[in-house]
Every structure is written in C-alpha cells, then in structure tokens.
Structure 1
Amino acid sequence: MQQTTIQQTNTAAGVRAPRPRLATSIATTAEELREAQRLRYRVFIEGMNLTALARPDGLDCDEFDEHCDHLLVRDTSTLQVVGTYRVLAPAGARRLGRFYSEGEFDVGRLNPLRGRIIEAGRACIHPDYRGGSVIMLLWAALGEYMRRQGCDYLAGCASISLADGGHNAVAVFRQLRETHMAPAEYRVTPHLPFPHTKIEPAAAANVPALLKGYMRSGAWLCGEPAWDPDFDSADLFLLMPLANLDARYARHYGVDGAVEMAIAA
C-alpha cells in the first residue's frame, strides 16, 4: 500500500498556521497494532466511560484483530497514531468463519457477496485531531485497500449512543429508513433488536459524523438496528459499493482542491 501524506493549514485571526503533517499506512508490527488498540481504548472505553470493559493494559482488543488489517494515520511530527480503521478482508473472514457484524446480525442474504466484501469497523480518531483531515485520509486509504483486495463492497456497523435513552437513535433510524434503505435482497436482521417502536424519537435527528459520511457516499441501510449492550448503542448495518466511495473522493480531492495531497511510493 502506498503511503499518503497530507499537509493542511488553518486560518486564525488572518494568519495561516501550519497543521501537523499526517501519513497513512497499514500496521505491520505488533507494536503498531498495540498503538491502534491503545487509541481505540482511549476513544471507546475511556471516552465513553465504559468501566465494565476496562483493562489494566489499556488495550481494546479481541479475537478479530489478528485476522484484520489495521489502517493507521500518524502525525509524523510526534509519531503518534491519531486515527485507525480495522478492516477484515474476505480471506480473514474465511479463517474466522464469519464477519464481525455477524455477532449482531443475520447476514445470510449477503452470502453471494462474501468474496467481494471488505468489512470495516473500530474507526476512531484522537480527540485533538477531529477537524476532518484524519477521517478523509482513512477513507482514502480504505478505498485503495479495497481496490488492491479486488473487493467492491464495503460493509460494517455504525453506532449511535443510547445515552439519551435512545430517542436520537430512533430519530436517526427513521430518517435513514426513508432515504437510504437497501433493496430487499441486501437486508439483514438483528439478533438482538433495538426496540425502536417503543421509544419516542427526538424532535430532530442528530446523525453522527461517521454515519453521515457513509450516507453521503451512497451507503445503504440494510435493516433495523441491533442493540449492543456492551457499548450501550444502537448499531446499524451498512453496505456501500466501492464505486460510490471512489466518486466521493474524486469530488473531494479532484474538484475542491481544498487539500493538497502528495502520494509517495
């Protein structure tokens, strides 16, 4: 995989100040994997105050990690990993015998696509780097990874916090159900459904940024939400063709010219 670097500037009080230079890569060593796991722990376990999932080693890890590739975004000035995405290719899914999402959903209708699907998850960004550049780099790296794997569908779950009692999750689901529902042949079924029919929706849907990005890129919502009691979230299963992801990045990098990208072999 090529390394992608990005340099962005901000304007503050009329002065353009340099921002950190960022680089993408795939974890190739045990220590790089631990860096991703430490960032995930900080964002998911500490950031969401999930004390029941606390670990003394400060790592968010499971059996899927060793079968996945881990996309990294690193601040080259500090060498700190500031963004990561976990991706499961068809070969890894075959070794495991399942996708991660199958712990929450029956995806039997997608069986004909199994050899063409990359499953992505555990996307997280360091709190100090959430201005947009990191997630765009992760998505660009994800698109390149899919092409190199010869896969043309991206699948995964997007989570919505239930901290408000689930009202926003209901509002988001109902909104997306009207605008982004997958054709019937791509529908999945949650093992533990989130009881959205028993909860009043929020007055306005506050769609999480990552989920909003998926939707803008042409992702399909593939069914009703599952309830994840460990993370206290409603999880939506999404499926997106690579062609839609490519189109998004052609617009962002080719037309806008807002961010200058340098590709180095």
Structure 2
Amino acid sequence: MTTRATANRNLSIRLASDAADLEAVQALRWQVFFAEMGAEAVTSAASFLDSDPYDPLCDHLLVTDTDDNGDVQVVGTYRLLRESVAARAGGFYSAGEFDIAALSGGNGELLELGRSCVLPAYRTSATIALLWRGIADYIQRHGIGLMFGCASFPGTDPMAHAPALSWLHHHHLAPAWRRPRVLEGKGVAMDLLERGSYDERRAMFALPPLIKGYLRTGATFGDGAYIDHAFNTVDVCVVMPVEAIADRYAARFSLVG
C-alpha cells in the first residue's frame, strides 16, 4: 500500500458494502497486524488477508482516502458486531478471551468493537475522529446501549506493561456488576504492581493510543489481561456504556439527542 502527503488527502467514512470492500479491509488489517505488529496466525499468512469466521457476520467501518484521479484507498477500519447478530451466530469474538456475561441485560443492544487499525501515515486526529463519527451514527441507528471490545498492548509479556496494566486496574476497573473477567488459564491479573510502587504518570503515558482514546470517552476495563500469542498482544477488555460517555465526546459525536 502507498500513502499520500497529508495535504492531498480526501478522507471519508462509510460501511463496507460489498466483497471488494471487505477484502480491502482484510488486506489493511493484515498489513497492520501481521506485517507491522508481528501476528502469526497461520490462516492468513498465505493470502495476505486477515480474515476469520466473524467477518461475514459483522459490519465494517472503513475510512477511505480518494486521490485526484478517483482512486480509493482504505486506510482505517473498525469491525462492529451487534448482540442480535452474535446471538444467531454463536456469540461474540471477545467471549474467547473474557467472560462477558456481566455485560448482558442492560438497556439497548450490545455492540462489540474489534479489529481496529489505521495505516501508520494516517494515525491522526482526523482519521480517529472519522472512525468515532461512524461509530456514533451506528449507535444511533441500532439503539446501542453499551459498547465493548478488546484493546491491545504490543507483545506477549505482561510484565513489560506492568505499570500501565496496574494503573488501569487501580483506577479504571468497571463496576463489579458490569465487569468482564479474563478466562481462567488464558491470562494474568492486571494488578501486577502494588499501588504506590510505580510512577503513575509514566504509567499513563505508556498506555497505547487507542486505550488513551477510550479513557477520554469515560471507558472502564475488565478484570485481567488476555495473552494473545497468535496476534502477539496482551489484551484488555474495554467497557463503554453509551450513557456514561464523557459529555464532551457525547456532544461532539452526537451520541445524545
């Protein structure tokens, strides 16, 4: 994939509408997750596409960049899976990493956010704002009450992220009655360091950008971190009730009437 100078970009957001769109999304995900981040899932290696059985069930947000000749490049994406769809298809992807039973039963439908990625040259506030605008429109259209999903730290050594994981545990755990928990035997506790034994400011700065963005919206997190050897990541479970999204984001993305 090639990218253009920032000044010449013409970005837009929409849902994937056909098989060609989905393949472009899968190619983008392969470039980010496999070529850049070192994922090793063998099912995608030969095709240079990141695909799994959930893809045909989901809606896929995509950010595109259109050049002066009309050529369109997919540069960012989010995978969206609604509760009503997941219930007919064996459940949510995140259920393979976390016990998410506590998330059910609230007002509105659950929405799983997943497979978020953006090409390096497009990791700007403009691209992220477009993705959130697309999510906001989707929330309104489908009556979503709570969003959740997995967010990742690079690598599979949780101790490399001990301060950041501990800080999330100490300050941003979801309420007990709405708290996913990592599946037994598949992860580690997040409170790897005792409170007061690490520099909290540095821990905050060490958080991946996506997790920082979730925190700014008012997100909380599940208990424990999943070690994903196939994707070379340490995953945490993010919980974002729509009614709890920070006021400044609710206004910006039209999340309230």
Scaled by the length of structure 2, the TM-score of the pair is 0.84
Specify the alignment match of 1:194 in structure 2.
188
**What is the letter of the counterpart of residue 75 of structure 1?**
D
Tell me: CA distance 1:88–1:175, structure 2 relative to 1, closer, same or farther (3 Å): same
1:56 partnered with 2:42: no
TM-score normalised by structure 1 residue count: 0.81
Map 1:76-225; keep pairs closer than 5 Å. Answer: 76-77=66-67, 78-113=71-106, 116-162=109-155, 165-191=157-183, 192-194=186-188, 204-205=202-203, 206-225=206-225
Q: Report the AA paired with residue 172 of structure 1.
A: A
- Counterpart for residue 11 of structure 2: 22
- Evaluate the alpha carbon distance shift between residue 63 and residue 99 of structure 1 in structure 2; reply closer, same or farther with a 3 A threshold: same
| Distance of 1:246 and 1:93 partners within structure 2 | 27
Contact 1:86 1:120 in 2 (8 A): yes
Which of 31, 49, 56 aligns to 1:66? It is 56
Structure 1 residues 199, 175: closer, same or farther in 2, change over 3 A? closer
**CA deviation profile, 1:100-152 (whole Å, cap 9, x unmatched):** 11000111222313962110010000111112211111011001101101112
Gaps of 5+ in 1: 1-9, 11-16, 255-265
Say if 1:143 and 1:246, in contact at 8 Å, map to a contact too.
Answer: no
Partner SS, residue 144 of structure 2:
coil
Identity of aligned residues (%): 36
**Structure 1 residues 246 and 69: alpha-carbon distance in aligned structure 2, compared to 1, 3 A threshold:** farther
For 2:248 and 2:29, the matched residues in 1 are separated by 26
For residues 248 and 35 of structure 2, what CA distance do their matches in structure 1 show?
Answer: 32
Shift of 1:60: 0.2
Q: 1:126 corresponds to which letter in structure 2?
A: L
Q: Is the 8 A contact 2:108 2:143 kept in 1?
A: no
Corresponding residue for residue 32 of structure 2: 43
RMSD of aligned alpha carbons: 2.6
Structure 2 counterpart of 1:227, one-letter code: I
Aligned to 1:262: none
Moved over 4 A (4+): 195-203, 250-254
* 1:11-51 Cα deviation digits (max 9, x unpaired): xxxxxx83411010100100000000000000001111234
Distance in 1, matches of 2:117 and 2:73, equals 14
Q: Which moved more, 1:83-92 or 1:220-229?
A: 220-229
Q: Tell me the number of residue pairs that the alignment of Structure 1 and Structure 2 aligns.
A: 238
Matched-pair contact (CA < 8 Å) for 2:39–2:232: no
Counterpart-to-counterpart distance in 1, 2:215 and 2:140:
21
- Paired residues of 1:90 and 1:115 also in contact (CA < 8 A): no
Question: Structure 1 pair 146/121, CA: closer, same or farther in 2 (3 Å)?
Answer: same
